Amino acid sequence: MDVYEELVELRRSGEKCAVATIVEVAGSIPSFQSAKMLIRQDGTMVGTIGGGCTEAEVWQAARDVIETEQPRMLQFNLGQEAAYDNGLICGGQLNVYVEPVLPMAKALIFGAGHISKSLSKVATLAGFATTVIDNRDSYANRERFPEAAEVIAAEYEDVFPRLPCNDATYAIIVTRGHKDDMRVLRWAAAQPLRYIGMIGSKRKTIEVAKHLLAEGVELEKLSRIHAPMGLDIGAVTPEEIAVAVVAEMIRRRRNSQDEWTPLSKSIFAEGVPRALTAAGVADAGSVSEAEALAETR
């Protein structure tokens, strides 16, 4: 199997992998400069950089590279004794560069209002393939979103089974009302998404979370939500809000191990709010659903 063909196929399917390349050689080695090996997330490989303990160590490093999404440079000295132990009497040196290969980031924008128009444009410019979903065809159409990779006008529950859900998928919830936001959030919280952002105030977010907890949605899943979404840069207009949200998405794309920043506005940025702990949820009845969902954006 060709390394490059498999690389393209993995990116299309939304799967991460790592590619190891011999970038520098001195002396005799059991391979050649530019030799490549691809390591999938499940540990299986395509190609070889010469076998033996060197390849085994590169494989191990590649697993870490896939997890952290950070490249590594490895140096090997195939001394006579070590090489002989592995049946490789070479004695050369080689440097192997192991790089992560990530699928193209996809942004699922739920809602096709004013903020979504700016979000789709800014996210596309930042390298996200955007899909806009709304149950109103007068809003979800190509005239309003010419730059989007896909525009879907249908009921959200009908669309959910067709959507890509993996570590390269970002969901942004900006529907026309809080009840629709809750419909989408209920689905999104159960998916293996890289980022979930939802528009609205902290009060609205807490009340929506309370109702989902009462339905049985796990707090651990809800605590990943960036809501209020977007970095705290003082954004006011739809265009500014779009910049703040996409900036937060970029941060998640580039810093996979670090969920929050001092600029995060989410109610979960500093831990689970007391209102959502066992004691707080016991008081959920103090604010009716009608009151919680009547709050304007």
Percent of the chain, pLDDT > 90?
74
- Would the pTM count as exceeding 0.85? no
DSSP result, 144-195: T-TT-SEEEES-HHHHGGGS--STTEEEEE--SSHHHHHHHHHHHTTS--SE
* Six-digit token string for 233: 């840069």
- Which band of pLDDT confidence, cut at 50, 70 and 90, is reported for residue 293? very low
CB 115 within 8 A of CB 139: no
Q: Is the pLDDT of residue 265 over 60?
A: yes
For 111-136, the pLDDT digits (tens) are: 999 999 999 999 999 999 999 999 99
The Cα–Cα gap between 174 and 200 comes to 9
Residue 169 in this model has a pLDDT that exceeds 80: yes
Q: Which domains are seen in the chain, by residue range? A: 3-101 (no CATH), 106-294 (3.40.50.720)
